[in-house]
């Protein structure tokens, strides 16, 4: 098995930070709070944050997935399971203590229910941590790919891409509309069929060295992807279908274009090493920002009106508060696997 070394890519580092910020915009920004056309334009031309994250995740973890080293695979699963399991437990314990001490955050009372905690752990779905459906699907898809690679070592890429075809067959048929209601309230299962193609794309991009090939035609590829993104975004050139959030080929095309554009980002033109160092430093905590932003939003909105009203400045405040907490936590536990709670 040929393993490819994944060199640092400035464009991907920049993209991860933008995607983390974009997630906060999705969950915490109220567009009615601004008339700024630039902000409205930025917050409109998006909605590919989760798909792009999924593509990047499986692109970067290709070597681990195809490796014969079982320890690497177990380590990858532990890295995902630690935040998935421990954050709900931490909030559960806090809720118990909080309700005994004061009424400040009485809304957390629902988390004192053991049944709700179990539901959160089994499905990745719950208030304040409802976005953990993403981790739920990431873990499930990782296990699926590992199983396929073990069972079909020589034909795993072909089998994995069959799942992309299967996913779009379900989405563009009536089966998707019929299946989704059975999983009401379990977002991870409702979205699994929509999110699966992005994992296939990320895995395949690395397996076939596609991004490396495009580097040979960097300028042309960059411009073409930029044009395809804007044309696809602005015009309905695909059949509208039923779905939750990330359904249809259109979202996949947009996400692939975003990933390619940032991969081919002309970082060699940036001479400011200070800027590059800042971005590479921040990227280490994009996971923590994702895990924490909803909790930060809840706890700080009584004290910051910008956060309470969902302004763009409030989104920036949530980003930096989440970042600071993640940075402190990751450095406190840097010798322990608990660092995965913040990175």
Tens-place pLDDT, residues 65-78:
999 999 999 999 99
**What whole-number distance in Å separates Cα of residue 251 and Cα of residue 194?**
10
Residues 209-216 have a mean pLDDT of 94
Structure tokens at 33: 């709070």
pLDDT tops 50 at residue 2: no
pLDDT tops 90 at residue 39: no
pLDDT tops 60 at residue 172: yes
Count of other CB atoms within 10 angstroms of residue 233: 16
pLDDT tops 90 at residue 111: no
Q: What is the pLDDT of residues 251-310, one digit of tens each?
A: 999 999 999 999 998 766 666 777 777 767 777 788 899 999 988 998 888 888 999 899
Tell which wins on pLDDT, 92 or 317. Answer: 317
Residues 54-81 have a mean pLDDT of 95
Q: Which of 6, 4, 3, 8 lies closest to 280, judged by CA?
A: 8
Share of the chain above pLDDT 70, in %: 87
pLDDT at 1: 45
pLDDT tops 70 at residue 43: no
Mean pLDDT for the chain overall = 85
pLDDT tops 90 at residue 113: no
pLDDT at 127: 62
* pLDDT-based confidence at residue 17 (cuts at 50, 70, 90): confident
**What whole-number distance in Å separates Cα of residue 316 and Cα of residue 307?**
9
What SS3 string covers 78-129? HHHHHHHHHHHHHHHHHHHHHHHHCCCCHHHHHHHCHHHHHHHHHHCCCCCC
* pLDDT-based confidence at residue 102 (cuts at 50, 70, 90): low
Long-range contact set of residues 237-240: C-beta below 8 Å, sequence gap at least 24: 239/172
pLDDT at 101: 66
* pLDDT-based confidence at residue 166 (cuts at 50, 70, 90): very high
CB-based contacts of 160, cutoff 8 Å, min separation 6: 145, 148, 200, 203, 204
pLDDT tops 90 at residue 202: yes
Sign (positive or negative) of CA dihedral 273, 275, 281, 286: negative
Residues 182-191 have a mean pLDDT of 78
- The secondary element (H helix, E strand) that includes residue 175 is helix 175-179
Q: What is the pLDDT of residues 21-38, one digit of tens each?
A: 989 998 898 888 877 776
Q: Could you state, in order of their start, the residue ranges of all structural domains in the chain?
A: 10-341
pLDDT at 268: 63
Residue with tokens 């909105």: 301
Taking CA atoms, 186 is separated from 16, 259, 288, in Å, by 26, 29, 23
Q: Residues 136, 173: contact at Cβ < 8 Å?
A: no
Maximum distance among all Cα pairs of the chain, rounded to whole angstroms? 63
pLDDT tops 70 at residue 46: no
Three-state DSSP at 253 gives: helix
pLDDT at 7: 62
pLDDT at 263: 93
């Amino acid at each position: 098995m040929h393993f490819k070394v994944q060199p640092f890519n400035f464009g991907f580092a920049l993209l991860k930070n933008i995607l983390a910020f974009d997630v906060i915009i999705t969950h915490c920004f109220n567009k009615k709070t601004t008339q700024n056309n630039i902000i409205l334009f930025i917050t409109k031309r998006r909605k590919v944050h989760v798909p792009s994250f999924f593509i990047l995740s499986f692109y970067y973890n290709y070597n681990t997935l195809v490796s014969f080293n079982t320890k690497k695979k177990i380590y990858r699963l532990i890295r995902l399971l630690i935040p998935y399991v421990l954050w709900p437990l931490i909030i559960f314990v806090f809720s118990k203590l909080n309700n005994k001490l004061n009424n400040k955050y009485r809304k957390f009372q629902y988390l004192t229910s053991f049944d709700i905690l179990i539901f959160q752990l089994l499905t990745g779905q719950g208030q304040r941590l409802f976005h953990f459906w993403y981790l739920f699907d990431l873990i499930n898809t990782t296990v699926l790919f590992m199983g396929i690679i073990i069972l079909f070592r020589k034909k795993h890429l072909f089998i994995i891409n069959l799942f992309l075809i299967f996913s779009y067959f379900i989405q563009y048929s009536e089966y998707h509309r019929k299946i989704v209601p059975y999983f009401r309230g379990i977002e991870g299962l409702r979205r699994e069929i929509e999110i699966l193609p992005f994992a296939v794309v990320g895995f395949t991009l690395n397996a076939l060295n596609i991004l490396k090939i495009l580097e040979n035609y960097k300028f042309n590829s960059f411009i073409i992807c930029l044009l395809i993104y804007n044309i696809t975004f602005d015009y309905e050139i695909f059949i509208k279908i039923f779905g939750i959030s990330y359904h249809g080929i259109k979202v996949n095309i947009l996400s692939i274009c975003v990933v390619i554009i940032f991969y081919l980002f002309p970082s060699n033109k940036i001479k400011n090493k200070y800027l590059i160092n800042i971005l590479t430093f921040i990227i280490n905590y994009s996971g923590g920002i994702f895990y924490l932003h909803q909790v930060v939003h809840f706890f700080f909105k009584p004290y910051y009106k910008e956060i309470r009203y969902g302004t763009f400045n409030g989104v920036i405040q949530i980003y930096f508060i989440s970042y600071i907490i993640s940075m402190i936590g990751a450095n406190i536990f840097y010798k322990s696997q608990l660092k995965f709670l913040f990175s």
